[in-house]
Structure 1
């Protein structure tokens, strides 16, 4: 989960629960790691030349004349061109979901019960740039939550309304967790907070349901598919935090809180998506 740039927010934290689950763990000393370097496009290296017509570059992609890095730079340039279209579609889908989606209206009401507000003023649609790291990793995000600003939806990364619903539900679970338990979002004091809310958000949002995993991600595993998806996504999100040293550290933290956080379905009674 990434922290979005500052949209306006009317979300107001509530008082801390007398028995807050994420804060029952012992604190860890803060850790730091160097930030990755990100690559600028070099046509001589990638084969992608922004000065050419888009269809010429697309033909070069189809014929294998552009590297994977070049494809990502091409994709980002196309996102810039279609930014207004993507954001308009995202905003229309957001309005629909706030009116008709059972999971979104349920979470909105539960946030309101904790004196918070989520609406079009602090659930914003924006283009989110991706970055290509030196090791070839592509850093992308679908959305983010910030206690100060609200929820960011990355309009250019949303495949359809169903994808936006999963992403919005994920971030709304984070908002509820923050109001209920005052989560340490920085992770500098305690990465277990981040691990717990990421487990819960992936579990309750519907993004790990079997149909999403099989049809979208090509994962047809029948045994422990749901648990494996939740665990993997929580580890990836914890890894994105500067206080996390590496994947081993992220896995250790997720495992430490797994039993208690995976069994906690609040504010729902059951996982129904």
Structure 2
């Protein structure tokens, strides 16, 4: 990848390699008047999107220690008790990798992504993006599939077909596209081929964020080129886990 500041899947290298640093609060946004303006705007339909974004960014900064601690506690719990996380950790270990508390890192993120993976730095968990433990579990599983793939296969970071295959497999195998999550959190009401539709959508969105991909049409075409083989490849699982 031409951008040395990001991992192949868009994870911020600097966020993963640096310790969390306190961010001074901006009094222009962290005020009661901002909170009331947001509530009023939502009720009247005259929302100020920039105000909302900056206000909640300031709130995240204020609660950063608590949010990251919750993420770290959940990470440790999942490494010990989650069936899918434990299975993927063991499979990564068989290939010579070691995923643990030291290289699965919780940080506050400014983007909307919930996680990322770097072969050199490990897994990034965006602590301020998780709705609940299940969401964090899905994200960890997604990034752990990436880790397994990078150890198992010769992945070329500049090869968009390789990257599309990684995203198809991670979304298929992590559980993030199971029906209940799509139905209750994404308002996706599709019944037939729901899994395939979700995986295509997520893989296409991920590809759109990569250098060299011009637009959604190009991202979709790349996903379609590798779809058949990558969607059917369930390794290291015998079948799609959930």
TM surpasses 0.5: yes
Alignment of 1:1-273 (within 5 A): 1-5=9-13, 7=16, 50-51=27-28, 54-64=31-41, 66-130=47-111, 140-185=112-157, 187=158, 190-273=159-242
| Distance of 2:29 and 2:116 partners within structure 1 | 34
Number of equivalent positions: 221
Deviates more, 1:74-83 or 1:205-214: 74-83
- The structure in which a higher percent of residues are helix is 2
Retained in 2: the 8 A contact 1:196–1:261?
yes
Match of 1:33 in 2: none
Q: Report if the CA contact (8 A) 2:30-2:55 is conserved.
A: no
User: Structure 1 residues 211-220 or 171-180, which shifts more?
Assistant: 211-220
**CA deviations over 1:120-179 (Å, ceiling 9, x no partner):** 11100000113xxxxxxxxx2100000111000000001111100000000000000000
Flag the 1:256–1:70 CA change in 2: closer, same or farther, 3 A: same
How far apart are the structure 2 equivalents of 1:50 and 1:202?
40
Task: Work out the CA distance in 1 between the residues paired with 2:76 and 2:228.
Answer: 36
Tell me the TM-score normalized by structure 2: 0.87
1:97 and 1:104 in contact (8 A); partners too? yes
Normalised by the length of structure 1, the TM-score is 0.78
Off by >4 Å, runs of 4+ in structure 1: none
Unaligned runs of 5+ residues in structure 2 are 1-8, 18-25
Q: Which has the bigger relative contact order, CA under 8 A and spacing at least 6?
A: 1
